[in-house]
Structure 1
């Protein structure tokens, strides 16, 4: 969902309701932060002269555009406008806040995101980039979809100074479950959703099926666990300042056909219960994932460096980025094709299940993704077809985890956020999407 942002800090500004104006207190705090961190002409402007306006699109962060008035001349090379991001609901800890700030700074230095001007406990100051977020229907545009696939592949190719263990997905869902169980009695309906959908059992199923222990032995280069954080083994990392394409090709073991002996003999039937190796034949490399590539986190730049399609789009909002399974990042993106967050009536979103990408649209995305990863390697037509087939299975099965992850997130947001949005309705939509997708994948 657009601009999901969470922290352990209380927000000093009143959350923005739809169609509401910024408060005087908010303007005062914005002026203090800009004056302190930007210096130059920002130290000359008076509090009542600073131009501060809300930026729409956030469902958990509060966003403000701060501008110097025209009559205040620049002193040096300080920016004349910035984006102020104020953290919202209490969902993540201080450690996550620090890691996200480090990540943001690294990506900015690599020209892969906005510049960072200041960090403080309540939020940060970022480069304001003239642009607009994509609309959900634009994800279906073939040219834009190809660009997103290539940018995702490049993102996956990065090496970052964070743990390479893929613990983020299930660790965060465990944290959400614990927090939901600790909600006060007034929030019983939210807690009841856990029982209604038997979410803990479903998470245990996914944990067992998707975790590193579920990967087949042939995926591991030498001993169990060495694949973690290797991304696409066999290709040395090149620090993209700016992006440099990969020099080598695919690691054969990641994409090799699975041994027949390792496949479940009865997978053509869907057994009762959840303790089934539904995803056991779904190896997925662990790479640095964005984990939230949806329309609100993709900017269409107003003034791109060139007219090339790749320069027109920019990925933003890396607060959920971590080493994770590649299948989750792509499957999550496909799930977001369904959801329109620009709906102006309650619950302020639409779930258009018919917009889930068709096999043809998924293959278009996958082929562009693989073209960036393969580069100088040209598989045989049979080999390429096998890669595409296996990747289709991989991303659609990992999409299951996306539904549960953001459903749990939304239950907590309903308890903590004052932003006007149908969080409980959204949570139930995601859980229903999970079971519908799970049923549709049963024959595979």
Structure 2
């Protein structure tokens, strides 16, 4: 243990990101507890932990496994329409989502209240403007999209947000950007196409939110 702390101290001093020994140990415990797998097989001084700097960030870290424990993500492909038609792939994705949604992550648990209260201003406002008099409006008129010309998309979206809050669905740790490019599929056996694994990546939008947010974002990729 003392040797590991010495190694951590030396790495901290030599690193441009200046990660304290205390923070390195804390980040290591979080990775080991919540990520498991290869992250549990290495020691704290084997992890490459760097402070994320620049922009509006709090205490954010970039963590990497040592080369000897790399998981082979470079052999993955993005989740595709073909994967949607593979029952094995869809079932595995559902299990991964369920596991993610069951995590007890040490962050604020009421972020969904802020997001839903400010959703229109943060995310939908620019879309509304474009729909009323911007690029979306021009495309609807140019292609004579009769359905969109007759309906009020702004009212539809406002109604959907109101209903989402009113349903009172379970609030869980959600990804919030579960599009296909954030789901990696890797075949673990060259001779069996159904022998595969799935990795959900890019958690920078993650927080506690209604569970349906992840379902909605994933299924909208079908459109």
The TM tier, using the shorter chain, reads 0.5 to 0.7
Residues 111, 290 of structure 1: alpha-carbon distance in 2 compared, 3 angstrom cutoff:
same
Does residue 1:206 correspond to 2:206, yes or no? no
Question: Contact 1:155–1:288 at 8 Å: present in 2 too?
Answer: yes
- Among 321, 329, 343, the alignment partner of 2:206 is 321
Counterpart of 2:75 in structure 1 is 131
Q: Give 1:367-386 correspondences, 5 Å limit.
A: none
Q: Give 1:181-220 correspondences, 5 Å limit.
A: 188-190=133-135, 192=137, 198-211=152-165, 214-215=166-167
- Among 72, 80, 95, the alignment partner of 1:150 is 95
Deviation per residue, 1:38-85 (Å, 9 max, x gap): 9xxxxxxxxxxxxxxxxxxxxxxxxxxxxxxxxxxxxxxxxxxxxxxx
Superposition deviation, residue 140 in structure 1: 2.2
Residues 145, 169 of structure 1: alpha-carbon distance in 2 compared, 3 angstrom cutoff:
farther
Superposition deviation, residue 289 in structure 1: 1.4
Superposition deviation, residue 111 in structure 1: 1.8
Superposition deviation, residue 156 in structure 1: 0.7
Counterpart of 1:176 in structure 2 is 123
Counterpart of 1:121 in structure 2 is 54
- Paired with 2:102 and 2:75, the residues of 1 have a C-alpha distance of 26
Aligned residues: 164
Residues 201, 134 of structure 1: alpha-carbon distance in 2 compared, 3 angstrom cutoff:
closer
- Paired with 1:303 and 1:37, the residues of 2 have a C-alpha distance of 35
Deviation per residue, 1:312-341 (Å, 9 max, x gap): 2111011222222222322332222x2xxx
The range that moved more, 293-302 or 142-151, is: 293-302
Counterpart of 1:271 in structure 2 is none
Superposition deviation, residue 292 in structure 1: 2.5
- Paired with 1:288 and 1:169, the residues of 2 have a C-alpha distance of 15
Residues 121, 158 of structure 1: alpha-carbon distance in 2 compared, 3 angstrom cutoff:
same
Residues 169, 317 of structure 1: alpha-carbon distance in 2 compared, 3 angstrom cutoff:
farther
- Give the SS at the match of 2:205: coil
Deviation per residue, 1:130-164 (Å, 9 max, x gap): 23222232122111111110111111111221232
Structure 1 length normalisation: TM-score?
0.30
Counterpart of 2:110 in structure 1 is 164
Question: Contact 1:108–1:116 at 8 Å: present in 2 too?
Answer: no
- Give the SS at the match of 1:284: coil
- Paired with 1:310 and 1:334, the residues of 2 have a C-alpha distance of 24
Structure 2 length normalisation: TM-score?
0.54
Say what the alpha-carbon RMSD is for the aligned residues: 4.3
Counterpart of 2:35 in structure 1 is 111
More helix by share: 2
Q: Give 1:340-379 correspondences, 5 Å limit.
A: 351=223
Superposition deviation, residue 311 in structure 1: 7.5
- Give the SS at the match of 1:130: helix
Deviation per residue, 1:391-410 (Å, 9 max, x gap): xxxxxxxxxxxxxxxxxxxx
- Paired with 1:171 and 1:112, the residues of 2 have a C-alpha distance of 34
Superposition deviation, residue 119 in structure 1: 1.0
Structure 2 unaligned regions, length at least 5: 1-14, 19-26, 40-47, 65-69, 139-147
Residues 107, 139 of structure 1: alpha-carbon distance in 2 compared, 3 angstrom cutoff:
farther
Counterpart of 2:177 in structure 1 is 292
- Paired with 2:134 and 2:155, the residues of 1 have a C-alpha distance of 19
